[in-house]
Chains A and B, each alone.
Chain A
Amino acid sequence: DIVMTQSPLSLPVTPGEPASISCKSSQSLMYSNGYNYLEWYLQKPGQSPQLLIYLVSSRASGVPDRFSGSGSGTDFTLKISRVEAEDVGVYYCMQVLQIPYTFGQGTKLEIK
């Protein structure tokens, strides 16, 4: 299985400030087509996870442009340019390159 490792696990952020989450995979997530099969999900308190980003940097429908993703191979980053109160929750990276799909441990973002 591909192991996904996130850091930090806890992220207190002041509203309006940027935030960054790292995700590393135990093997490359790049397919032979040159794309990396890496996604980001946000689980807001009391809710089910929701897709934020697919293929490293493509935002899902309705996701604000303050969310951006980058990276390639085994190292990936999710950035929030200016954190808002509604961004609190647990962020997960997920690899969809091979079955079984696997998730990072989650990063809990909270407002200072």
Chain B
Amino acid sequence: QVQLQESGPGLVKPSQTLSLTCSVSGGSISNGDYYWSWIRQPAGKGLEWIGRIHTSGGTAYNPSLKSRVTISVETSSNQFSLKLGSVTAADTAVYYCARERPNSVVIPPVIEVDYWGQGTLVTVSS
């Protein structure tokens, strides 16, 4: 059973960089055809897809955040990370890490977000 766990500071000052790590257990992050993603949820609001990194290292980001976001993977520690720069109060949210699984029942495969972390609240405030 794959499990994901977010970790990182719960409080970040405006204009600084938000850094989170997702630890993956129950399987190797470098095995298989998966995408490792970050999704966030501001309090009382809906979900926003931030971006993802493939097992091969390829990345894709939400254009609305692209200039500020970097997602990277550390295969030796079975983790992947999110960095979001120049944060403001609008970046305050619960941040989830997740796994996207391409389901080849159709071509092109349909992406299923099949495992999620429990989420971690990050508040941007001075």
Residues of A at the B interface (CB closer than 8 Å) are: 1, 31, 33, 35, 37, 39, 41, 48-51, 54-55, 58, 60, 92, 94, 96, 99-106
A60 and B112 contact, CB distance less than 8 A: yes
B64 and A96 contact, CB distance less than 8 A: no
CB distance from A90 to the nearest CB of B (A): 9
CB distance from A104 to the nearest CB of B (A): 7
Known: A33-B106, A60-B112, A106-B46. A100 touches B62 (CB 8 A): yes
B60 at the interface (CB under 8 A from A): yes
Q: Which of A41, A99, A102, A105 interacts with B113 by CB under 8 Å?
A: A41
Bound complex: CA A92 to CA B39 (Å): 13
Interfacial chain A residues near B14, Cβ < 8 Å: none
Bound complex: CA A35 to CA B117 (Å): 29
B103 and A54 contact, CB distance less than 8 A: yes
A48 and B96 contact, CB distance less than 8 A: yes
Residues of B at the A interface (CB closer than 8 Å) are: 45-49, 60-64, 96, 98, 103, 105-108, 110-114, 116-119
Known: A100-B62, A100-B64, A101-B49. A51 touches B113 (CB 8 A): yes
Considering the complex of A and B, which 6 residue pairs feature the smallest CB-CB distances, nearest first? A48-B116, A100-B62, A101-B49, A103-B47, A96-B111, A105-B46
CB distance from A93 to the nearest CB of B (A): 10
Interfacial chain A residues near B119, Cβ < 8 Å: 48
B107 and A33 contact, CB distance less than 8 A: yes
Q: Which of A51, A102, A106 interacts with B112 by CB under 8 Å?
A: A51
Interfacial chain A residues near B48, Cβ < 8 Å: 103
Bound complex: CA A49 to CA B112 (Å): 12
Can you give 19 contacting A-B residue pairs, CB < 8 Å?
A33-B106, A39-B110, A39-B113, A48-B118, A48-B119, A51-B113, A55-B105, A92-B46, A94-B47, A99-B49, A99-B60, A100-B62, A100-B64, A101-B49, A103-B46, A103-B47, A105-B45, A106-B46, A106-B47
